[in-house]
């Protein structure tokens, strides 16, 4: 253990030196990208694990519940080899497919109970259905849920901040959880009122306080279950897992999530490990009971694994139930619609973004008198981060559309001035061409983003990790529905209720003079548009992006 502490100190010094020598975030970004990958098959695992404690881990499963049976079987496999096994998860299990979204995350809990999870932390998507729904879901969890940086109105953590796991050999392993501060703008603000997410310096202070508390309780090894990630878009705010690690002392291991990165805790670099997404791999951390220190960290592929029968029965029943309801064909597509993040819906205009915003616009305009401005002043915007999958050419089912738009968002209308519309576009493309979840997919607006010009960063928006532009530097609106754009005119923006409430980079919408929610679910708007307006066929009109957006690089 002493040797491990020395190693940790050396790593901290090296990381601090890298930060000193670099005037921007590039060094830390490279540091994260270069973290090693050690991927094995189950056949590579030593036959005898007597005297070892193994932490199996997952993150960002995002509704791939059919794969829980694999990690359950690996847990049993390692136990049969003599190891004591702790099964943990770093968040984002409640959202991503119809298999969990149809019950607002409850079936994710049911599946994880069956798999035998011991400790988990919360991801941003656990809050997608609101705090009340989350509390109801967690009430049936058979595992411990920990998170240190999400507070209720009284200033208390909404779940326990940490927990101590004492192994049969007597080793004390302290676990604490951290949630990304980005949750406050990645979740509909109306659903998390009264909840506070610590950020920036407060996040590192919170982490250090957890380490100190666990050490005071006699922890031999301290593990942070972090839903922070290592994405470049999080680097300016300093709340990635590697940022928190660099600013704290005493974290022996960070089991990370959020950025869907595949990485292992290589001893020569930061002890941060993550399995990707949808259980692409299963994380393995081996601790030696005698030395109470890290012996190995690697990932296991699903190749050659068997499914645990009990877990498989539970998840298969859920999958069959949802498939019966959602596998109904609703249309066909002659083209493939781009569901990628980058390059894709978070970096540029896409054909899928065009389809979705056209459908949203149509769903409101088909109701006579629903909008109080001239049709020439009605546009549509949705955040690219809300588009979660592609649509392949061929038959299209209800489940396909639900997988693209899994959040249950509804179509809303906000009334803004031209100046407010321009502010929203400027704020939502502040880092373009780098990916950003708020990137605007649009209908009715022709505009240019000049990325050679700097973003004029002003104060942070209230309860946000994003910033108000002090002036419009990068975005120029050429026209709205083919007519000249005016800063003083009032425009009706058809959007989703998440953006209307100020989610992502859209605080300008939350501050709008007037707005209303149609109550139409986004996936149903798209299905109705395709079946009615497109007569059941997504054709050549959507073969390529429309060309409304120009990005100057």
- Look at domain 2-321 and name its CATH class: alpha beta
Residue 194: exposure state from Cβ atoms within 10 A (0-12, 13-18, ≥19)? exposed
CA distance 176 to 178: 7
* Bridge partners, 164 (sequence order): 174
78-110 burial: b if 16+ Cβ within 10 Å, else e: beebebbbbbbbbbbbbbbbbbbbbbbbbbbbb
Structure tokens at 258: 């959020």
The arithmetic mean of pLDDT across residues 167-171, rounded, is 97
> What mean pLDDT, rounded, does the chain reach?
90
Residue 308 has pLDDT above 80, yes or no: yes
Residue 437 has pLDDT above 70, yes or no: yes
CA distance 76 to 404: 35
**Residues whose CB falls within 8 Å of the CB of residue 93, separated by 6 or more in sequence, listed in order:** 61, 62, 63, 100, 105, 108, 109, 112, 120, 123, 125, 126
pLDDT of residue 113: 98
- Look at domain 327-552 and name its CATH class: alpha beta
H helices present in 484-521, as ranges: 497-500, 507-510
Dihedral angle over CA of 116, 122, 128, 129, nearest 10: 60
pLDDT of residue 185: 73
Q: How confident is the model at residue 114 (pLDDT cuts 50, 70, 90)?
A: very high
The arithmetic mean of pLDDT across residues 512-539, rounded, is 92
The arithmetic mean of pLDDT across residues 505-530, rounded, is 91
- Summarize pLDDT for 81-96 with one digit per residue, the tens: 999 999 999 999 998 8
Q: Hey, is 512 helix, strand or coil?
A: coil
CA angle 181, 187, 193 (to 5 degrees): 85
Q: Cβ atoms within 10 A of the Cβ of 311, count?
A: 26
End-to-end CA distance of the chain: 50
Pairing of strands 262-263, 272-275: antiparallel
Residue 235 has pLDDT above 80, yes or no: no
Residue 17 has pLDDT above 90, yes or no: no
- Summarize pLDDT for 474-499 with one digit per residue, the tens: 999 999 999 999 999 999 999 999 99
The arithmetic mean of pLDDT across residues 72-78, rounded, is 98
Q: Specify whether the CB–CB gap between 226 and 274 falls below 8 A.
A: no
What's the full length of the chain, in residues? Answer: 553
Q: Hey, is 55 helix, strand or coil?
A: strand
What percent of the chain lies above the pLDDT cut of 70? 92
Query: pTM here?
Result: 0.74
Residue 36 has pLDDT above 60, yes or no: no
pLDDT of residue 37: 65
H helices present in 303-394, as ranges: 309-326, 351-365
Q: Cβ atoms within 10 A of the Cβ of 452, count?
A: 7
Residue 522 has pLDDT above 80, yes or no: yes
Show me where the domains of the chain are located: 2-321, 327-552
CA distance 533 to 161: 51
DSSP 240-283: SHHHHHHT-S---EEEE-SS--EE---TTS--EEEE-STTSEEE
User: Which residue is associated with the tokens 């425009």?
Assistant: 491
The arithmetic mean of pLDDT across residues 302-317, rounded, is 97
Q: Specify whether the CB–CB gap between 391 and 337 falls below 8 A.
A: yes
Q: Cβ atoms within 10 A of the Cβ of 298, count?
A: 21
- Summarize pLDDT for 319-368 with one digit per residue, the tens: 999 999 888 899 999 999 999 999 999 999 999 999 999 999 999 998 77
């Amino acid at each position: 253990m002493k040797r491990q502490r020395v190693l940790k100190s050396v790593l901290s010094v090296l990381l601090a030196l890298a930060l000193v020598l670099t005037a921007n975030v590039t060094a830390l970004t490279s540091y994260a990208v270069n973290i090693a990958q050690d991927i094995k098959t189950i056949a590579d695992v030593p036959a005898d694990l007597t005297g070892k404690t193994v932490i199996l881990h997952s993150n960002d499963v995002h509704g791939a519940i059919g794969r829980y049976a694999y990690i359950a079987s690996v847990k049993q496999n390692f136990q049969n080899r003599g190891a004591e096994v702790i099964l943990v998860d770093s968040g984002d299990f409640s959202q991503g497919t119809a298999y969990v979204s149809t019950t607002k995350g409850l079936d994710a809990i049911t599946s994880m109970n069956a798999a035998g999870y011991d400790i988990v932390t919360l991801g941003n998507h656990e809050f997608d259905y609101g705090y009340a729904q989350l509390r109801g879901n967690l009430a049936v969890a058979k595992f411990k849920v920990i998170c240190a940086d999400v507070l209720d109105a009284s200033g208390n953590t909404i779940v326990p901040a940490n927990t101590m796991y004492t192994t049969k050999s007597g080793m004390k392993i302290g676990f604490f959880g951290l949630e990304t501060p980005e949750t406050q703008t990645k979740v509909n603000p109306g659903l998390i009122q009264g909840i506070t997410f610590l950020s920036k310096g407060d996040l590192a202070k919170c982490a250090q306080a957890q380490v100190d508390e666990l050490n005071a309780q006699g922890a031999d090894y301290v593990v942070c279950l972090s839903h922070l990630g290592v994405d470049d878009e999080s680097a300016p705010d300093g709340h990635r897992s590697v940022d928190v690690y660099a600013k704290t002392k005493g974290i022996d291991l960070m089991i990370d999530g959020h950025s869907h990165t595949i990485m292992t805790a290589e001893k020569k670099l930061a002890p941060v490990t993550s399995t990707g997404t949808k259980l692409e791999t299963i994380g393995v951390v081996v601790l030696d009971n005698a030395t109470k220190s890290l012996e190995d960290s690697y990932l296991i592929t699903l190749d050659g694994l068997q499914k645990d029968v009990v877990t498989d029965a539970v998840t298969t029943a859920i999958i069959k139930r949802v498939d019966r309801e959602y596998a109904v064909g609703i249309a066909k597509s002659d083209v493939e619609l781009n569901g990628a993040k980058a390059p894709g819906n978070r970096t540029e205009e896409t054909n899928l973004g065009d389809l979705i915003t056209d459908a949203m616009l149509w769903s409101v305009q088909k109701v006579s008198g629903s909008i109080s401005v001239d049709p020439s002043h009605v546009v549509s915007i949705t955040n690219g981060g809300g588009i979660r999958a592609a649509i392949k050419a061929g038959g299209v089912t209800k489940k396909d559309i639900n997988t693209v738009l899994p959040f249950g968002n509804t179509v809303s209308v906000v009334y803004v001035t031209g100046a407010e519309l321009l502010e929203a576009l400027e704020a939502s493309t502040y880092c373009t061409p780098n990916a950003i979840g708020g990137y605007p997919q649009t209908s009715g607006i022709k505009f240019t983003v000049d990325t050679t010009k700097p973003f004029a960063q002003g104060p942070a928006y209230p309860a946000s990790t994003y910033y108000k532009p002090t002036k419009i530097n990068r975005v120029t609106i050429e026209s709205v529905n083919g007519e000249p754009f005016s800063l003083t005119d009032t425009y009706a923006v058809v959007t989703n209720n998440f953006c209307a409430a100020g989610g992502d980079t859209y605080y300008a919408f939350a501050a709008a003079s007037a707005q209303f929610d149609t109550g139409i679910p986004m996936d149903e708007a798209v299905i109705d548009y395709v079946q009615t307006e497109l007569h059941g066929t997504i054709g050549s009109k959507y073969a390529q992006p429309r060309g409304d957006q120009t990005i100057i690089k």
